[in-house]
Amino acid sequence: MFIQTLITDPVLFFRIVVIVIFSITLHELAHGWAAISQGDNTPQQKGHLTLNPVVHMGVESLIFLCFTGIAWGQMPVNPAKFRFPRVSNIIVSAAGPLSNLALGIFFIILIKLFANPDSPGIFSFEFLYLACRINLTLFLFNLLPVPPLDGFHVFSEIFPQLKPLQNTNFGIFAMMLLFTVPGVGRGLSMIAELMISATIGV
């Protein structure tokens, strides 16, 4: 279990926890600002336009992260307030994953400009590479067309015939498979690593 990393490699443990919390917080804020841009002020009314990770993730998610390495977040939105329901839903849903893609690109730029293999700090190659890989993996994972992931909301607006799946147990079973079938998470991580390698040549 991930919590064992706290004993075997505490530096890696805290790096992962900090990066995941930071990335999910910005992911949810991206949803919130996108919703506001589309006419929905629910995120502001609910007090979710904050950098406080507890607001976005909740205590349960933070505890789960420390034990398993898995976490989640939530941004309250009201699609009924969107200016253009279909297009706005795509924009708001895609904003989260795109924020992770943007962070991944940002960390790639930092790697190319500042990464120092001898530095133990935030500009070390290991830290920046890990931050980049986590964000690109989050980008790929959240784009999967499985409810309740963002990708499902995007694809279900493009292909409305998928919408009925939202009211079935499909999402529950699909998520169980994603987290229990060996190699699924690692496969996404490998794709992220290939994306990084193609960019920085490592």
In this predicted model, what pLDDT tens digit does every residue of 166-181 receive, in sequence order? 878 888 888 888 878 7
* Residue 112, pLDDT score: 86
Which pTM does this prediction carry? 0.93
**Domain range enclosing 132:** 2-200
25 contact partners, CB below 8 Å, separation of at least 6: 51, 52, 53, 56, 57, 73
Distance CA 140, CA 11 (A): 26
Indicate if 60 belongs to the active site: no
**Active-site choice (28, 60, 126, 157):** 28
- Residues 182, 185, 186, 188: is their CA dihedral positive or negative? positive
Q: How many independent structural domains does the chain possess?
A: 1
* Residue 167, pLDDT score: 78
